[in-house]
Every structure is written in structure tokens, then in C-alpha cells.
Amino acid sequence: MYENKAEAELYDRLYQDRKDYEGEAVRVADLIREHKQDAVTLLDVACGTGLHLAAFAKCFDEVAGVDLSAWMADLASERLAGVPVHQGDMRTFDLGRTFDSVVCMFSSIGYLRTTEDLDSAVRAMTRHLADDGVLAIEPWYFPDTFLPGFVSTHALKDGDQGISRVSHSTQEGNVTRMEIHYVVADADAGVQHRSEVDHLTLFSREEYENAFRGSGLTVEYIETELGRPGFFVGTHSDRS
């Protein structure tokens, strides 16, 4: 996933058009401040190309990011002058410091394959949390909220380039198999087609909650708009 510059750039172009990054960042900043009104620092784990980070930078004094893909992290660094963006795995990263808030957006945690990995990732994020800090994770769907057969489409025109994306998702045990096809029409390069298959684990609500509790956090699940997977919010309520 995102193993070269072209894939990272296609994601960046498509998702700027497809998602309301600014609105989502403002809502998550509000959620964080419900728990910690004076939060001024934020770490975005699996930050991708930095589209949320650009918006978070308007809400917090200091932001930073980490992503597994060096290509995604590079695009984030190019977008965000002066913002540290690290290449690292959410299960094992160690930046040697803490933040008032740590977030993991757009179901990126669903790319992990086992509950051991889920536990490791939540532990690693919690190690980066100040004593009175807030951890907010947007999960993937749960086994009972995922809709097998889900179809998604998006198309955009940007100058001399047209991009379309369609996907079809099925359920295989506790995994979503998402087949995605991209067609890009470019004035010079002509029409190119690419496809990928992503696997996202359908961890249960209890598995997420166990991961938070196992890291010493109190956890609450917040439902968001209909059809979206919601948010888990964790705090060290006993230490604040």
C-alpha cells in the first residue's frame, strides 16, 4: 500500500476531493477539548499525506505525524513546512516524547491484522500521551456494522487529468476485502488503469475497548454520523 510516489500522489489528489479534512479535524479538535480544554499539542498516527495535519495545525500550537509509508510521509512533509513527519509503524514507533492528544484517523488502524497488533498499536499511542492527554481513534467498522457488498464511487477532473475510483467490499470472516479500481486519464499519458485489494480487519467494539483498557486508559465509544464508524476516546481519568 502506497509503495511508490505515484500511488501516494494519486491518494493525495483523490482524497482532497473526497473527504472534508478540515471539517473532520475541527470536530476531532472539539472532541479532544471536551476532555482537555488546554490541549496544545497533537500527534497524528498514520497521518498519510498530512491532509488532516494541515487542518490540525490551525487548531493546535504544535503538531506532528507518523506514517508507515515513506512516500506518504514525504508528501506530508512537503505539504507542512516545519512540521515533523516521521516514518514509523504504529505498533512500535517511539518518538521519545508525549503529546496532549494523539489521534489515528480514517480507520487506518483497521489495516492491522491481529488483536496483538491492535493492542501493541494502542500501547504505542498511549506511551506518547501526556498524563492528562486524550487518545482518539477512528476505528474500521465492527463485524455487525459493516455492510457486505458495499459499493463506492468517486470521480474528479483536475486540469488536464481525470481520475475515477470505484470499490467493492466483501466480508471474509472478520476481514473486509476491498477491491479498488482506479482509472486515470491524462492529456499526455493517456488512460491508465490500476487496481488493488485492501484488507481491513473487522475488530469488535470489545476488542478495541480491551486494547484501551489494557493500556491503562478509560475508554468511551462515540457514534458519529450515520454510516460512519464512530470514535473511541481514551484518557487516563485516574491520573488527571
- Other CB atoms within a 10 A radius of the CB of residue 227 amount to 9
Q: How far is the CB of 42 from ligand SAM (least distance, A)?
A: 13
Interface residue list for ligand SAM (CB under 6 A):
1-2, 15, 46-48, 51-52, 67-69, 72, 89-91, 105-106, 108, 111
Q: How far is the CB of 186 from ligand SAM (least distance, A)?
A: 23
Q: How far is the CB of 217 from ligand SAM (least distance, A)?
A: 19
The residue to which cell 487516563 is assigned: 236
Nearer Cβ to ligand SAM, position 35 or 52?
52
- Other CB atoms within a 10 A radius of the CB of residue 159 amount to 7
**Cβ proximity of 163 and 10 under 8 Å:** yes
Using CB atoms within 10 A of its CB, is residue 116 exposed (0-12), middle (13-18) or buried (19+)? exposed
Nearer Cβ to ligand SAM, position 12 or 100?
12
Per DSSP, 220 falls in state: E
Nearer Cβ to ligand SAM, position 93 or 212?
93
Q: How far is the CB of 67 from ligand SAM (least distance, A)?
A: 5
Among the listed residues 81, 86, 83, 82, the one whose alpha carbon sits nearest the alpha carbon of residue 70: 86
**Cβ proximity of 58 and 31 under 8 Å:** no
Q: How far is the CB of 69 from ligand SAM (least distance, A)?
A: 4
What is the C-alpha separation between 224 and 239, in angstroms, rounded?
28
Q: How far is the CB of 38 from ligand SAM (least distance, A)?
A: 25
Nearer Cβ to ligand SAM, position 201 or 236?
201
Nearer Cβ to ligand SAM, position 70 or 189?
70
Among the listed residues 17, 70, 22, 52, the one whose alpha carbon sits nearest the alpha carbon of residue 136: 52
Q: How far is the CB of 233 from ligand SAM (least distance, A)?
A: 17
**Cβ proximity of 61 and 41 under 8 Å:** yes
Nearer Cβ to ligand SAM, position 72 or 137?
72
Nearer Cβ to ligand SAM, position 108 or 235?
108
What is the C-alpha separation between 46 and 116, in angstroms, rounded?
18
Using CB atoms within 10 A of its CB, is residue 150 exposed (0-12), middle (13-18) or buried (19+)? middle
Q: Which residue is nearest to ligand SAM (CB)?
A: 48
